C-alpha cells in the first residue's frame, strides 16, 4: 500500500465517565484485516479530534486515525477532562495524573468491547499521561509510543520560558487559546518544518471546540517533574523525538531511555521535525515510524 493511500472513514462518538465526569471518546474502525487497536492521547493545548483526526480537503492522510484505520487498526482517542467535548467544569485543572485516570477509563471502555491489550501513543504532555497510565496498568498495553516526551525538563528551552509564567498558570485553572497562540506553537522551534496546508484547518477545528485550555499540564511540566518513573514502565516502548523539538531535550530523553527496564525499546530522532510530528512536512515519515513499531513481529526468543 502506498504511504499516502488513505480512506476517509466515518467516525463514531462514545461516552463513558472518569472521576464521575463525562468523558468523550472517538473511534474509527479498522478496514480489511484487523491488526490491533491504537489509543491516541493528546497534549496540553488542543482537544483530541483536531489533533488525531484532522480534516483537510483533498488530504485524507492528514488524519492519523484514518491513516492507521486504512491499514487495519481500530483507532481510538478521547478528550481528557477539561478539553473538547469532555467535562470542562471551572475546577478542572487537568493534571498529568488526572489525564492518566482518563486514559484508564477510556481503556476500560475500549477493552470491554473485546479489544486489547492496546497500542498506546501519546504526544507531549500526552506522552506523560500515557507513561503514567502504563505504570499503573501495564497489563492493558501491548506497545507504548511516547513522542515529545519530557523527563526532568533539563535542556528544554520551551519549558525554561514557560517557567517565567508559572505564577500565572497557578493563579487560574485555564488559559485562553486563540489563533496567535496556536501560530506560536507552529513557529517557536523551526517555522519551516510545519505543513502549511494543515495550519488553517487545524486552527479552525481547535477553536470550534475550545477557546481555553486547562493549566494542569503546564504546571506539572514547569514545577513537578519528573511525574513518571521509567523504571516502572514495563512494556515495550518507543521514544520519538523531533530534531528541532524545544520541549524534549535529547540528553534528558537518553537518561529516560537508559532506565527503561525492558530491552524491547527504541529511541528515534525524526529529521527536520519540530514539536508535534503529525503536523510537519515530514508527517508521513512519522506515521511510518509508528506503524513499524506497532507491527513489529513478536520476539521469537527472549532471555
Number of domains comprising the chain: 1
Q: Is residue 5 part of a domain?
A: no
pLDDT (tens digit, 9 = 90+) per residue, 46-74? 999 999 999 999 999 999 999 999 999 99
pLDDT at 25: 98
Q: Is residue 3 part of a domain?
A: no
CB 118 within 8 A of CB 142: yes
CA 260 vs CA 99, 179, 253, 267, 269: distances in Å: 22, 38, 11, 11, 18
CB 76 within 8 A of CB 39: yes
Average pLDDT over residues 101-114: 97
> What share of the chain in percent tops pLDDT 90?
93
pLDDT at 186: 82
> Rounded CA gap, 259 and 197, in Å?
39
pLDDT at 89: 96
Res. 162: pLDDT tops 90: yes
> What share of the chain in percent tops pLDDT 70?
100
Res. 303: pLDDT tops 80: no
Res. 183: pLDDT tops 90: no
Could you tell me the pLDDT band of residue 134, with boundaries at 50, 70 and 90? very high
pLDDT at 60: 97
Q: Is residue 21 part of a domain?
A: yes
Query: If DSSP states are collapsed to H, E and C, what string results for the chain?
Result: CCCCCCCCCCCEEEEEEECCEEEEEEEECCCCCCCEEEEEECCCCCCHHHHHCCCCCCCHHHCHHHHHHHCCEEEEEECCCCCCCCCCCCCCCCCHHHHHHHHHHHHHHHHCCCCCCEEEEEECHHHHHHHHHHHHCHHHEEEEEEECCCCCCCCCHHHHHHHHHHHHHHCCCEEECCHHHHHHHHHCCCHHHECHHHHHHHHHHHHCCCCEEECHHHHHHHHCCCCCCHHHCCCCEEEEEECCCCCCCHHHHHHHHHHCCCCCEEEEEECCCCCCHHHECCHHHHHHHHHHHHCCCCCCCCC
Q: Is residue 173 part of a domain?
A: yes
CATH of the domain at 41: 3.40.50.1820
CA 45 vs CA 31, 80, 207, 270: distances in Å: 31, 11, 11, 22
58: which residues sit within 8 A by CB, 6+ positions away?
Answer: none
pLDDT (tens digit, 9 = 90+) per residue, 269-294? 999 999 999 999 999 999 999 999 99
Convert 121-146 to b/e letters by CB count within 10 Å (16 or more is b). bbbbbbbbbbbbbbbebeebbbbbbb
pLDDT at 2: 85
Average pLDDT over residues 21-26: 98
Res. 237: pLDDT tops 90: yes
Res. 302: pLDDT tops 90: no
Res. 157: pLDDT tops 80: yes
> Rounded CA gap, 269 and 286, in Å?
10
pLDDT at 1: 83
Could you tell me the pLDDT band of residue 119, with boundaries at 50, 70 and 90? very high
What's the whole-number average pLDDT of the chain? Answer: 96
Q: Is residue 154 part of a domain?
A: yes
Q: Is residue 241 part of a domain?
A: yes
Res. 14: pLDDT tops 80: yes
Angular region, 172: left φ>0, alpha ψ -120 to 50, beta rest: beta
Q: Is residue 302 part of a domain?
A: no
Could you tell me the residue range of the domain that residue 197 belongs to?
12-294
Q: Is residue 67 part of a domain?
A: yes
165: which residues sit within 8 A by CB, 6+ positions away?
Answer: none
pLDDT at 173: 97
Amino acid at each position: 500500500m502506498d504511504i499516502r493511500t488513505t480512506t476517509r472513514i466515518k467516525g463514531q462518538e462514545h461516552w463513558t465517565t472518569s472521576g464521575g465526569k463525562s468523558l468523550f471518546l472517538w473511534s474509527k474502525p479498522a478496514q480489511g484485516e484487523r491488526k490491533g487497536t491504537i489509543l491516541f492521547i493528546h497534549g496540553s493545548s488542543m482537544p483530541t479530534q483536531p489533533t488525531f483526526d484532522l480534516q483537510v480537503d483533498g488530504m485524507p492522510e492528514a488524519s492519523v486515525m484514518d491513516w492507521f484505520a486504512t491499514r487495519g487498526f481500530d483507532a481510538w482517542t478521547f478528550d481528557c477532562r477539561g478539553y473538547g467535548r469532555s467535562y470542562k467544569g471551572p475546577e478542572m485543572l487537568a493534571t498529568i495524573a488526572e489525564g492518566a485516570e482518563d486514559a484508564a477509563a477510556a481503556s476500560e471502555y475500549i477493552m470491554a468491547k473485546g479489544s486489547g491489550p492496546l497500542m498506546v501513543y501519546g504526544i507531549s504532555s500526552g506522552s506523560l499521561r500515557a507513561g503514567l497510565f502504563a505504570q499503573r496498568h501495564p497489563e492493558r498495553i501491548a506497545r507504548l509510543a511516547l513522542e515529545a516526551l519530557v523527563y526532568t525538563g533539563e535542556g528544554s528551552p520551551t519549558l525554561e520560558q514557560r517557567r517565567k509564567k508559572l505564577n500565572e498558570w497557578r493563579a487560574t485553572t485555564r488559559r485562553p487559546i486563540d489563533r496567535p497562540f496556536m501560530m506560536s506553537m507552529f513557529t517557536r522551534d523551526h517555522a519551516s518544518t510545519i505543513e502549511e496546508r494543515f495550519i488553517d484547518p487545524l486552527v479552525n477545528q481547535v477553536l470550534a471546540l475550545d477557546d481555553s485550555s486547562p493549566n494542569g499540564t503546564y504546571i506539572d511540566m514547569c514545577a513537578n517533574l519528573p511525574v513518571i518513573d521509567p523504571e516502572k514502565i514495563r512494556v515495550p516502548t518507543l521514544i520519538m523525538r523531533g530534531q528541532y523539538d524545544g520541549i524534549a531535550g535529547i540528553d534528558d530523553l537518553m537518561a529516560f531511555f537508559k532506565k527503561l527496564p525492558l530491552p524491547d525499546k527504541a529511541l528515534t530522532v525524526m529529521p527536520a521535525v519540530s514539536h508535534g510530528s503529525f503536523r510537519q512536512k515530514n508527517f508521513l515519515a512519522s506515521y511510518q515510524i509508528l506503524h513499524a513499531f506497532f507491527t513489529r513481529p513478536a520476539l521469537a526468543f527472549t532471555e
